[in-house]
Structure 1
């Protein structure tokens, strides 16, 4: 059953250092930690972070012997909608994010920038193109 108040799809990321990733994502990109288990310690079995109306799940990388759905951490590209890409970019840059594309107006109406997190994931942030185009 769909619940429009909650995201229906959650990108899941595995990090070699999930605690450091959570710290970076909250400081640089403004994510909020909604859930983290365990709350302390080196390993993160499951965490949920949100930004605006979206959410991700993340955890510490696991070996296949530990969990049947284990996969190696691999860089991904994700996109999140933000109201002010320029201010968001400035926050990310100040927190040490590697900027791979400065704030740029796209031909389809969105303003976007992209940054890389410490484990190689590329995060795009910007205004949503369909909303910007009026569709």
Structure 2
């Protein structure tokens, strides 16, 4: 399979939001993502944003724009995204502190992971856990 050198993620979930600026605030302040890039149009609509967590990235933008991708995503939603974190309980506490809706508190899973589930303000489900896909032989 072709990949990109230098640890650049080769799979990036992309989510469109009615209020992309609020989503960026929640993802960075409450869920520990780092803002890497945000591009806005003259009206303040988020054309494209990239947020990182570990070596992964999520791309997001505002709904209601023009273009093939925006039209294809018009009826899409909500999405589910899994994010690997080292310290699930501390991550969960931060999310709770910021008022994020928790769907499942930190729970030990039968397959050895500790995980919790949260929903953002626009219905997307974010899973945070210690299971790292592809790390097992």
Segments of 5+ residues of structure 2 without an aligned counterpart are none
Name the residue aligned to 1:102: 105
Point out 4+ residue stretches in structure 1 off by more than 4 angstroms: 129-132
1:41–1:127 CA distance, 2 compared to 1 (3 A): farther
Name the residue aligned to 1:43: 45
> Scaled by the length of structure 1, what TM-score is found?
0.89
Is the 2:84–2:132 contact (alpha carbons within 8 Å) kept by the matching residues of 1?
no
> Scaled by the length of structure 2, what TM-score is found?
0.88
Name the residue aligned to 2:33: 31
Segments of 5+ residues of structure 1 without an aligned counterpart are none
Name the residue aligned to 1:74: 77
Total equivalences in the alignment: 132
RMSD over aligned Cα atoms = 2.0
SS state at 1:22 partner: helix
**In structure 2, what is the Cα distance between the partners aligned to 1:23 and 1:74?**
19
SS state at 1:45 partner: strand
1:3–1:17 CA distance, 2 compared to 1 (3 A): same
